[in-house]
Copies of this chain bind each other. A is one copy, B any other.
Amino acid sequence: MNTLPQQLLFDLPLRHARLQQAMANANADALLVTLNNNLIYTTGTVIRGWFYLPLNGTPLIFYRRPLDLPQRLPGFTTIQISRPDQITAALQDHNHPLPSRLLLEGDELPASEWFQFARIFTTTELLNGSTPIRLARAVKTPYELTLLRESCRRHAAVVATFPSLYRPGMSDLDLSIAMENASRQAGSLGLMRAFGGRMEIFMGSVLCGDNADTPAPYDFALGGAGLNPTIPIGPNNTPLRSGTTIMADVSGNFTGYISDCSRTYAIGSIPDHVREAHQLSIAICHAVAQAGTPGTNCESLYNLAIDLATQAGLAQHFMGYSQQVKFIGHGLGIEINELPVIAARFTMTLEENMTIALEPKFVFPGIGAVGIENTYVVTPDGMEKLTICDESLITLTP
């Protein structure tokens, strides 16, 4: 195994500084990271171990595996231990005081591990650090942006090939499998990470016709019935019939950073008002992106989208028909559902270098979903689109 990329090694201290700022805001003097998503953020890779960050100074990386971690992370303090109860002694060996207020990943760390840390850090107050960590991660560092831009570029390139994968007679599942395969061949790592143990996603979902209006028990914009009650989301073997639409929402993970890009295809002829709704989705993306400058309230962007949908008389089709979700976009990066959320009553303000997917979609009974989804980065001039490929409603021949 080789040293991790130089750019990553130079970037990690910027991430640690962001976390230290979040720690200061939470009045904490240390952070202990256990879970893969945050280990990737703090060390650049998945390790079997724990990442410890004091409020001031540099981190200590406790590890069991990989054994060559010191060579992979030159310049960082790596300490081999086999059990978490060795952490306190190791801190003292390295002249670190035991923390007074320690942030743990409370919204994801299993309760039994929290209680184990409570037995280890007997004089320490344990605090839920999940939201501080998520807020720190919402604003991307330069190398994170490099990785997300690269994922978006490669993602858009493969999405541009999706229409060529269509064959008459296919089902939504057939087309989904072809799109997954094209994504893997183009370098998608396949695995899509999500925050929160209840979110489950394979590579994405391809929803045709009324399956786009089937609610799922997950927090995705659109659901789909799925193939099996144990994974009730996504394609359900709907034949691709003339007069319906295909919403292809296959996520990209080409660099460890996840990009979102949905496109819609019409099979044969669909009504003009449905085509107009697709154009409105493009217009909403454009308007929200233009308005999305640093300092803008997320809720106001949501309301802007709702207003545009309402003015067009399409409010009841917006973000679902039989069941509507109350968001039109979400942060993304190491996970597909990061902060912020562009949602009703979500009052966080945008900051430069936040990365956000916008997905204003419309659902029409008997026809399907239309609209697009793109990934953006917040710049001083608004949101810059990173997933650049044809957004029009491409017609496929039945």
* Cβ–Cβ < 8 Å partners of A36 in chain B: 197-198, 200
Contact between B189 and A232 (Cβ–Cβ < 8 Å)? no
Contact between B111 and A197 (Cβ–Cβ < 8 Å)? no
Q: CB of A203 within 8 A of chain B?
A: yes
Also in contact, A66 and B110, with CB within 8 A (given A181-B177, A185-B177, A217-B48): no
Q: CB of A65 within 8 A of chain B?
A: yes
Report A138-182 residues with CB < 8 Å from chain B CB: 177, 180-181
Also in contact, A190 and B214, with CB within 8 A (given A4-B229, A45-B229): no
Contact between B227 and A189 (Cβ–Cβ < 8 Å)? yes
Contact between A66 and B256 (Cβ–Cβ < 8 Å)? no
Copies in the complex: 2
Contact between B114 and A231 (Cβ–Cβ < 8 Å)? no
Q: CB of A106 within 8 A of chain B?
A: yes
Shortest CB-to-CB span from A362 to chain B, Å, is 21
Contact of A45 among B185, B202, B232 (CB under 8 A): B232
Report A77-124 residues with CB < 8 Å from chain B CB: 104, 106-115
Q: CB of A379 within 8 A of chain B?
A: no
Q: CB of A378 within 8 A of chain B?
A: no
What range describes how many residues of A lie at the interface?
Answer: 35 or more
Contact between A215 and B67 (Cβ–Cβ < 8 Å)? yes
* Cβ–Cβ < 8 Å partners of A48 in chain B: 198, 217-218
Shortest CB-to-CB span from A392 to chain B, Å, is 29
* Cβ–Cβ < 8 Å partners of A232 in chain B: 45-46, 66
Question: Bound state CA distance, A35 and B255, in angstroms?
Answer: 29
Question: Bound state CA distance, A198 and B190, in angstroms?
Answer: 17
Q: CB of A230 within 8 A of chain B?
A: yes
Question: Bound state CA distance, A106 and B115, in angstroms?
Answer: 10
Contact between B111 and A104 (Cβ–Cβ < 8 Å)? yes
Question: Bound state CA distance, A225 and B66, in angstroms?
Answer: 11
* Cβ–Cβ < 8 Å partners of A35 in chain B: 197-198
Contact between A217 and B111 (Cβ–Cβ < 8 Å)? no
* Cβ–Cβ < 8 Å partners of A316 in chain B: none
Contact of A109 among B1, B110, B202, B203 (CB under 8 A): B110
Q: CB of A323 within 8 A of chain B?
A: yes
Question: Bound state CA distance, A57 and B201, in angstroms?
Answer: 35
Q: CB of A44 within 8 A of chain B?
A: yes
CB pairs A–B below 8 angstroms (9 shown) = A36-B200, A46-B231, A110-B110, A112-B128, A181-B184, A189-B227, A191-B201, A191-B202, A228-B256
**Top-10 shortest CB links A-B:** A230-B256, A111-B114, A45-B229, A190-B202, A48-B217, A106-B112, A177-B184, A181-B181, A106-B111, A191-B202
